[in-house]
Structure 1
């Protein structure tokens, strides 16, 4: 029988595309089954999009390309590292070994067709291999993984579960690098042999399996293949849900938060700073707490706005049996120490990781950075829930490429903004318009009536509600393209759409088409179920400015569906794509997209698409991930020779158990193991081309 503290999954099958009921229960505490926390009357993006669209214009759509703008390059000197910082984003989008790889022609890889295989499927002429998987040693004295003899102490030194955001930063030896990865959540159904461990031990191992890993890796020969460095490395490190964190920024002085916090968990996407630290977003933190009695009335509104339980509730994992801080009746302020952006220095394993309160408290998808025209730092932030907002932070101080330590305070002082979108009303057949970044607070002054600086940062959602930004469809990864200077945001989906504006025009924000099985008929359902990708152009391509122009670059789904749009490109020549989650860029500025929850009947995957030129909008599937898994990342190396993918929750179906798994990927054992893999061309050429 399953461990008693796990949630009872009473329904079998998929609920949001390829996502199963179990995934929803363990990853986000079934947030879609609850009322949307945002009860404000602020305008929805569907309304904005409708105001910018006309059927007459739709019939005139062409395939015009968009010219890209050049950008400048800045550099930082890291101790024990190669030059790290690059242009605007500080990480060449989301790529490894930041810097420009240079133009290398069009995306010419063969297309991977939709499939349900239990493996990573790559284009012709490519190969793939696992770099590191759950349980592999991280710290030097880590024991060999044995699922039948697992301990919390062992797991705290081994690679954690359900790897998500992945970044690679360079070392002086160009053949070696540091891989940094989030471990978002655990699936105790698949991790433990039935009856092998008690519930308290399972909880303790689960705490250790969350967090982050820093792992030294090495290149295999001169190819694009990478592997775990067998000699280990002095930088190798595990951060868990028990690790001590330093809390910085204005909210650290508030009694609800304090200057010390323990653990990071629910970590989703992230980013890298120009000075080489890693930013990680604490996302679905609300589902980890138990409530055994009353909570203080003063916290009820805040709890509700973040989906935190306010009545007697048992979480899926019941960590409160290990530590009372997971019981909000006993420690009601503990939840205010979660939901932050975490900063980790991969080059200093002794340095305490930081929680940066100036970037606000949200269900952070992640934080990606860029350098403004005057040398300051901007960070883009998505709040991953239906009806939530897009944010941006701009530092007060300037980035110093010659003094790494001086940059460590940049994320503690500056201005936090939230986005408001407006449709242009033009009959041009495009979903587009303008927007404004509305200020919420600086580190010294709040712009929200009745709320202090600390209050805005601790209850950022409540503060944003008051300034009337635009409610969005699950804002996920937001990255600046270092080649054309534009910002690309993945909006995964929102199946609650449709009731307000049923309409009859091809409005992707109101209705979409899905397939219940691979190759099955298209079925129309209410709601934006396939998601879209926004393209933003800020004034003067300067991230410090508060005005921007926006357009829907991709309206995802099956090309045969009326509502889909692919940058104006011929829809008969693109791959079907559903539920965009994370984005990255290669050396030519081509967009790479990973998906989560594909509703078109096939496995998730990674897709490529040019953002300029005659093939702007030509989506092509580059790879697919194993059965019932999510494609996390993606990550493209600076030399464009490697594509990295983090495969999360393989085989996570509702009826799968350790003894009867739905997947055995990566096929090293008779049970699944989340893992990070690399993909390269057999002829050692650049990936994608």
Structure 2
């Protein structure tokens, strides 16, 4: 059998094919041409020892023998003693939801109760930050029998169910548990919702769009008091993945904010005429996309009343989990797009790199490198590092090379002039508000929904060079191009979609995450490594290309999977992959978590570790610092039944809930954070 090797193992042979490209500067860079330099990680991960979990549609968490799970916290669980002890989803108000854990949790991050760098491995007190990406009205208010019964009060509570939840954890003899605070402000528990005061910082903080939208928001949202005078009461929402920093803050990434804006934009033609950039922005982000009648939603989310409102979202928001009275900051230097993640690594000289994916078809991968350097001895000195630096977009080349293109005002406007494009950027702030337009002009590579981007780091947060980029899928037909491979096909000259997704690996030049050049290769082609056919029938009917080979060599063996989304890289450099929509391709298995070594030679052995309940998406894979507990978020359990029918089509016909996770019986389904441990107390995966 042929064996798929990493790019660095085949550079020599590919140089022969590339001929005259052998002497190009990138291929001559130290660290790009030798596996030892880019594979500087001292630990070579081994295949995990657990027995893989069989495919299943069970309405529970399925695990290998010797592992157990339990609910850590779920939607509606109270964060404060001032909330009612028992959650009643039928009586939920905005005020009540603001004291309870939010819905549809996504990315998770853990912080030690006392900040230290690097953090100690053995912790008995932690702080959990969890994104609450969006709310699902069909999975709320079980007593409502028709969509027309929703009121403005219901909708206000639905908006309050999204954002971020921060909750303190403690480990007792029976394991980890969430703890409540007496009142808001009495501890570190908090909710940050679309109504919370936030500050805009960095080059775009005073952009005219943001200033106009901020006036409208603050006029419609009461001032809770205590916030800085320049705060905007727009909070954060559509929080998908994110990251955390070496100085102990949480980065939450705003993604599909278009779905929160409602109403009609038909009357905005004069605005489009006066400001063509608005029309481009409206088209790029496709707002408004919300389904509520405009009369029911908070007025600041009515596009007709607040046409610049979307400019308040699509940012990376930084939160200090150690100070519940602190005001979150939207770091505009990181650009505005549909951010899926914002993961950090330290460069060789101590600067901070932030990797980001823009989760939409044919969008781009970004990297920000701070101008200042991380100071491990002074936490406060690091608090504004993300306001000043250089933002880049990734360009993948045919020959396996790549480069980070600096997004600057001069370069973007010069590119627009060369392309004879009418797009122009007034200043750096305007460039960052419309960074998608700039990236396209500069030649960034369109990707198949780039989601999580994670660097392999050492124990002191320094990036070692390898970076994994997760591309969930692309339902549109297209041809292979750099960074977006296509599979073996019986019609090789025809365009094909990428329903199953893939993961790329890049290696930063010199093993330094501040580099402006890299090499790239396909790390994993998701699909079915055991299939004898090149295609398989999906649950919805269309055929999916399921080969896991790339350029004729298999990339994986073991368990099949589709639609990789969030990943976690443990201390021994095994990657844990959570899926989103894998059951739409392989109908016999709910969304899952799989594991494989980062540095192993292909085909990499893929082992299924966890399967979630029916209708759910698995998000935010994470381990406790000692790696004796595995956490993940179970989003929207019951959103569809085993046959794939959306609950939104079933509920209003009087059908019962399709899931009863996590409480079982005939309970109403709730998104939740679960914690997995080994029965013998050992390290996860060993």
TM-score tier (shorter): 0.7 to 0.9
The CA deviation at 1:174 is 2.5
1:250 is paired with a residue whose SS is coil
Please say if residues 283 and 364 of structure 1, whose CA atoms lie closer than 8 Å, have aligned partners that are also in contact: yes
Please say if residues 359 and 416 of structure 1, whose CA atoms lie closer than 8 Å, have aligned partners that are also in contact: yes
Change (3 A) 1:454 1:128: same
Q: Does 1:328 align with 2:276?
A: no
Name the counterpart of 1:509.
486
Please say if residues 583 and 633 of structure 1, whose CA atoms lie closer than 8 Å, have aligned partners that are also in contact: yes
Residues 603-642 of structure 1 mapped to structure 2, 5 A cutoff: 603-613=590-600, 617-642=604-629
The CA deviation at 1:509 is 1.9
What is the aligned counterpart of 2:657 among 632, 647, 661? 661
Name the counterpart of 1:440.
407
The CA deviation at 1:142 is 2.2
What is the aligned counterpart of 1:229 among 179, 191, 200? 179
Residues 99-138 of structure 1 mapped to structure 2, 5 A cutoff: 106-138=47-79
Please say if residues 355 and 367 of structure 2, whose CA atoms lie closer than 8 Å, have aligned partners that are also in contact: yes
Q: Does 1:468 align with 2:443?
A: yes
The CA deviation at 1:638 is 2.1
Q: Does 1:420 align with 2:401?
A: no
Name the counterpart of 1:300.
279
Please say if residues 382 and 476 of structure 1, whose CA atoms lie closer than 8 Å, have aligned partners that are also in contact: yes
Gaps of 5+ in 1: 1-51, 56-64, 73-99, 425-432, 514-523
2:613 is paired with a residue whose SS is coil
Please say if residues 155 and 297 of structure 2, whose CA atoms lie closer than 8 Å, have aligned partners that are also in contact: yes
Name the counterpart of 1:245.
198
The CA deviation at 1:510 is 5.6
2:300 is paired with a residue whose SS is helix
Q: C-alpha separation between the residues in 1 aligned to 2:593 and 2:475?
A: 22
The CA deviation at 1:415 is 0.6
Q: Which moved more, 1:661-670 or 1:611-620?
A: 611-620
Name the counterpart of 2:9.
none
Q: Does 1:271 align with 2:264?
A: no
Name the counterpart of 1:179.
128
Please say if residues 444 and 453 of structure 1, whose CA atoms lie closer than 8 Å, have aligned partners that are also in contact: no
1:465 is paired with a residue whose SS is helix
1:537 is paired with a residue whose SS is strand
Q: How many pairs does the alignment contain?
A: 572
Please say if residues 587 and 638 of structure 1, whose CA atoms lie closer than 8 Å, have aligned partners that are also in contact: no
2:567 is paired with a residue whose SS is strand
Change (3 A) 1:160 1:54: farther
Please say if residues 358 and 443 of structure 1, whose CA atoms lie closer than 8 Å, have aligned partners that are also in contact: no
TM-score (norm 1): 0.78
1:527 is paired with a residue whose SS is strand
The CA deviation at 1:370 is 0.7
Name the counterpart of 2:549.
565
Name the counterpart of 1:280.
252
Residues 137-176 of structure 1 mapped to structure 2, 5 A cutoff: 137-144=78-85, 145-172=87-114, 174-176=123-125
Please say if residues 641 and 687 of structure 1, whose CA atoms lie closer than 8 Å, have aligned partners that are also in contact: yes
Q: Which moved more, 1:468-477 or 1:138-147?
A: 138-147
Q: C-alpha separation between the residues in 1 aligned to 2:63 and 2:674?
A: 12
The CA deviation at 1:353 is 0.6
Please say if residues 412 and 438 of structure 2, whose CA atoms lie closer than 8 Å, have aligned partners that are also in contact: no
Change (3 A) 1:220 1:665: same
Change (3 A) 1:572 1:676: closer
Q: Which moved more, 1:323-332 or 1:466-475?
A: 323-332
The CA deviation at 1:143 is 2.1
Q: Please give the per-residue CA displacement for 1:551-599, whole angstroms capped at 9, x wherever unaligned.
A: 0010110112553139999778411011100111111011111000111
Q: Which moved more, 1:208-217 or 1:298-307?
A: 298-307
The CA deviation at 1:67 is 5.8
Gaps of 5+ in 2: 1-13, 18-33, 115-121, 212-229, 417-423, 459-463, 535-546, 641-645
The CA deviation at 1:361 is 0.4
The CA deviation at 1:405 is 1.3
Residues 386-465 of structure 1 mapped to structure 2, 5 A cutoff: 386-424=361-399, 433-441=400-408, 450-451=424-425, 452-465=427-440
What is the aligned counterpart of 2:351 among 365, 376, 382? 376
Q: C-alpha separation between the residues in 2 aligned to 1:566 and 1:177?
A: 42
Q: C-alpha separation between the residues in 2 aligned to 1:567 and 1:511?
A: 8
Q: C-alpha separation between the residues in 1 aligned to 2:620 and 2:208?
A: 36
Q: Does 1:479 align with 2:459?
A: no
Please say if residues 354 and 369 of structure 2, whose CA atoms lie closer than 8 Å, have aligned partners that are also in contact: yes
Higher helix fraction: Structure 1 or Structure 2? 2
Q: C-alpha separation between the residues in 1 aligned to 2:294 and 2:169?
A: 33
Change (3 A) 1:501 1:402: closer
Q: Does 1:218 align with 2:202?
A: no
The CA deviation at 1:54 is 13
Please say if residues 472 and 563 of structure 2, whose CA atoms lie closer than 8 Å, have aligned partners that are also in contact: yes
Q: C-alpha separation between the residues in 2 aligned to 1:208 and 1:187?
A: 12
2:262 is paired with a residue whose SS is coil
Please say if residues 558 and 600 of structure 1, whose CA atoms lie closer than 8 Å, have aligned partners that are also in contact: no
Change (3 A) 1:570 1:285: closer
Q: C-alpha separation between the residues in 2 aligned to 1:332 and 1:353?
A: 24
Q: C-alpha separation between the residues in 2 aligned to 1:447 and 1:589?
A: 42
**Higher RCO structure (Cα 8 Å, ≥6 apart):** 1
Change (3 A) 1:463 1:70: closer
Q: C-alpha separation between the residues in 2 aligned to 1:128 and 1:140?
A: 26
Q: C-alpha separation between the residues in 2 aligned to 1:512 and 1:360?
A: 38
Q: Does 1:648 align with 2:635?
A: yes
Residues 66-81 of structure 1 mapped to structure 2, 5 A cutoff: none
Residues 481-560 of structure 1 mapped to structure 2, 5 A cutoff: 481-483=456-458, 485-498=465-478, 500=479, 509=486, 526-559=496-529, 560=531
RMSD: 3.0
TM-score (norm 2): 0.78
Name the counterpart of 1:361.
336
Change (3 A) 1:71 1:354: farther
Q: C-alpha separation between the residues in 2 aligned to 1:268 and 1:475?
A: 13
Please say if residues 167 and 181 of structure 1, whose CA atoms lie closer than 8 Å, have aligned partners that are also in contact: yes
1:486 is paired with a residue whose SS is strand
Please say if residues 508 and 519 of structure 2, whose CA atoms lie closer than 8 Å, have aligned partners that are also in contact: yes
Please say if residues 557 and 604 of structure 2, whose CA atoms lie closer than 8 Å, have aligned partners that are also in contact: no
Q: C-alpha separation between the residues in 2 aligned to 1:363 and 1:512?
A: 32
